[in-house]
Structures are given as structure tokens and as C-alpha cells.
């Protein structure tokens, strides 16, 4: 009897696969790389080896709206700022009538200004389509990079899936049902083979 392949959950989270994300270049549609900057909270850099496009500018934009009444004189206050580079959740406003300055909570809407938006999954910094994604029945199977893809491949092909000493929900525990289902195993592995060659 053949021994089933064994998968040991390494307690990895999706955040363990975001230092380098493969995306479709917004300029030439070839494979580009989004690398998280080494300094914390400094964003990422997108580089395309095909067309040599490079940017650190975040393609995410924000619409900021405020509709309120002055706390001093009840005069209406309306502010609309479109396509801002940074979200601002609190605005300091001087009432045009009584000249009282106060802070008001604004409503922020996140927009994706990437040139490519026709698929389901994008990187978190630039909003570019992930390079490694394909439709699977009514779902989308995706991976951030080849390391992420390999980890899921080992999980999918395993007949025995084991977890040890976990202190939090791991990435594989949060996978959608269509990936966990044994009936989809062969089709998903064929799809992964295609993705590995992409």
C-alpha cells in the first residue's frame, strides 16, 4: 500500500509570503515584482525587468468626504477631496461663518488606480493584478509568489495534513473550501503545474 504524502503545517501566515509579490506590470503587462521595503511602514517598490518600469509611488488613491455642521454655530460644512495619495480620517476645519476651528471625522473611500483591474486579486501596495492567479470553476486560485505556490502545492497533494503547536490560525487553516477539498486535488495540481511555468 502506498504511503500518503504528509504535510506538516509550518505555522506560516499569509504575511510570511508578502516580502516579494509577483504582479502584472501596469505598463507592459509582463511579470513584475513588488518588494516590500526593508524599513517598516515605508511601503514597497514595483520593478519590471521587461520594460524597466520602476516606482515607489503607491497607486492607491483615496476620496475624502466630510459632511457636518459647525459645533459652534451649526453652519453646514462640506469637504470633498478626490484622488488623494494618503487617507486622512480627521480634518481640521475653520467654519466659514463663525471662524471656529475644530476637528471633524471624515469618510475615506479607498480606490484602486492601477491600470489593470479585471481580475480578483491584487497586491496590497499598488493594486496590480497578481501574476499567479487563474480561474478555478467559480473561484480564483492565486499565490503571491512561487514560494507561496509551492507551500500550497505541498498542502494540496498531501493525503495527511498535520498541525502541531499552533498559537494562532495559520494560512492553510484559512484556505477556502475548494482548495481543501480532496475532490479538487488533481485539477488543482494540474493548474499549479501551469502556474509554475508562468
> pLDDT tens digits for 70-99?
999 999 999 999 878 788 999 999 999 999
Structure confidence at residue 59 (pLDDT): 59
**Is 175 part of a structural domain of the chain?**
yes
pLDDT over 60 at 3, yes or no? no
**Is 51 part of a structural domain of the chain?**
yes
Residues 67, 49 share a domain: no
pLDDT over 90 at 42, yes or no? no
Structure confidence at residue 120 (pLDDT): 64
For residue 135, the cross-strand partners are 140
Residues 121, 102 share a domain: no
Residues 188, 121 share a domain: yes
Q: How far apart are CA 82 and CA 66, in angstroms?
A: 12
Residues 161, 85 share a domain: no
Residues 186, 166 share a domain: yes
Averaged pLDDT for residues 6-12: 81
pLDDT over 90 at 12, yes or no? no
Residues 88, 10 share a domain: no
**Which of 112, 137, 153 corresponds to the end of one domain?**
112
Averaged pLDDT for residues 169-178: 88
Give the closest residue to 172 by CA, choosing from 5, 6, 10, 53. 10
Pairing of strands 160-162, 6-8: parallel
Residues 108, 14 share a domain: no
Averaged pLDDT for residues 129-137: 93
Structure confidence at residue 122 (pLDDT): 86
Residues 41, 15 share a domain: yes
Residue 191 phi, psi (nearest 5): -65, -40
**Which of 112, 129, 148 corresponds to the end of one domain?**
112
Q: How far apart are CA 99 and CA 73, in angstroms?
A: 10
pLDDT over 80 at 20, yes or no? yes
Residues 6+ apart with CB under 8 A from 152: 143, 172, 175, 179, 192
| Angle, in degrees to the nearest 10, between helices 146-157 and 185-196 | 160
**Is 36 part of a structural domain of the chain?**
yes
Residues 88, 23 share a domain: no
pLDDT over 70 at 183, yes or no? yes
**Which of 112, 133, 155 corresponds to the end of one domain?**
112
Averaged pLDDT for residues 116-139: 80
Say how many domains are in the chain. Answer: 2
- Let me know how long the chain is: 198
Residue 108 phi, psi (nearest 5): -115, 130
**Is 1 part of a structural domain of the chain?**
no
Per-residue confidence band for 117, with pLDDT thresholds at 50, 70 and 90: very low
Range of the domain at 170: 6-59+115-196
Residues 156, 120 share a domain: yes
Question: Which among 116-120, 167-171, 184-188 has the top mean pLDDT?
Answer: 184-188
Averaged pLDDT for residues 121-148: 91
Q: What b/e readout covers 33-57, taking b as 16+ CB neighbours within 10 angstroms?
A: bbebeeeeeeebbbebeeeeeebee
Averaged pLDDT for residues 155-159: 87
3-state secondary structure of 189: helix
Residue 22, Cβ neighbours under 10 Å: how many?
A: 21
Structure confidence at residue 170 (pLDDT): 85
Structure confidence at residue 85 (pLDDT): 76
pLDDT over 90 at 106, yes or no? yes
Average pLDDT of the chain is 86
On whether the CB atoms of residues 143 and 16 are closer than 8 A, the answer is: no
Amino acid at each position: 500500500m502506498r504511503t500518503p504524502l504528509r504535510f506538516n503545517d509550518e505555522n506560516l501566515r499569509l504575511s510570511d509570503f508578502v516580502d516579494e509579490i509577483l504582479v502584472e506590470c501596469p505598463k507592459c503587462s509582463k511579470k513584475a515584482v513588488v518588494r516590500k521595503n526593508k524599513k517598516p511602514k515605508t511601503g514597497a517598490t514595483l520593478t519590471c525587468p521587461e520594460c524597466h518600469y520602476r516606482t515607489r509611488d503607491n497607486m492607491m488613491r483615496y476620496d475624502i468626504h466630510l459632511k457636518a455642521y459647525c459645533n459652534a454655530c451649526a453652519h453646514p460644512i462640506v469637504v470633498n477631496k478626490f484622488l488623494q495619495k494618503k487617507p486622512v480620517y480627521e480634518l481640521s476645519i475653520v467654519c466659514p461663518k463663525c471662524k471656529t476651528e475644530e476637528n471633524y471625522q471624515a469618510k475615506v473611500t479607498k480606490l484602486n488606480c492601477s491600470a489593470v483591474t479585471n481580475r480578483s486579486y491584487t497586491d496590497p501596495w499598488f493594486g496590480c493584478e497578481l501574476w499567479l492567479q487563474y480561474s478555478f470553476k467559480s473561484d480564483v486560485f492565486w499565490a503571491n509568489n512561487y514560494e507561496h505556490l509551492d507551500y500550497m502545492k505541498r498542502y494540496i497533494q498531501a493525503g495527511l495534513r498535520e498541525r502541531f503547536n499552533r498559537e494562532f490560525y495559520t494560512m492553510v487553516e484559512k484556505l477556502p473550501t475548494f482548495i481543501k477539498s480532496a475532490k479538487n486535488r488533481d485539477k488543482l495540481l494540474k493548474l499549479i503545474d501551469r502556474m509554475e511555468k508562468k
